[in-house]
């Protein structure tokens, strides 16, 4: 779904292909300024990346992570260089 200005704000995908291993859930995306730094911090705190970094439109990327308690969310930020 896009805003009237054309900005992506939400979407739905199926658990097929590259998404087949994701748990069934609503996936919350958290915008971060530095994706690589945020992934590193997640790992330092005992979390794990459960997908590789994937590209989105307009120079952004995301990764799905899991915290030590098992909660899953996506980190989204400018595409790593």
pLDDT computed for residue 1 by the predictor: 65
pLDDT computed for residue 27 by the predictor: 85
Structural domain contains residue 11: no
Model confidence pLDDT, tens digit, residues 4-60? 887 766 667 777 777 777 777 788 889 899 999 999 999 999 999 999 999 987 888
- Residue 62, domain extent: 24-78
Query: What is the count of structural domains for the chain?
Result: 1
| CATH code of the domain covering residue 36 | 3.10.180.10
Alpha-carbon span 36 to 39, nearest angstrom? 5
Q: Is the pTM of this model over 0.85?
A: no
3-state secondary structure the chain: CECCCCCECCCCCCCCHHHCCCCCCCCCEEECCCHHHHHHHHHHCCCEECCCCEECCCCEEEEEEECCCCCEEEEEEECCC
pLDDT computed for residue 10 by the predictor: 67
Structural domain contains residue 3: no
pLDDT computed for residue 81 by the predictor: 76
pLDDT computed for residue 74 by the predictor: 93
pLDDT computed for residue 20 by the predictor: 78
């Amino acid at each position: 779904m896009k805003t009237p200005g054309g900005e992506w704000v939400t979407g739905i995908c199926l658990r097929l292909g590259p998404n087949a291993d994701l748990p069934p859930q609503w996936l919350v995306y958290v915008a971060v300024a530095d994706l690589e730094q945020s992934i590193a911090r997640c790992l330092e705190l005992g979390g794990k990346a459960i997908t590789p970094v994937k590209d989105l439109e307009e120079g952004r990327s995301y990764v799905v992570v899991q915290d030590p308690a098992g909660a899953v969310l996506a980190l989204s930020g400018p595409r790593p260089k």
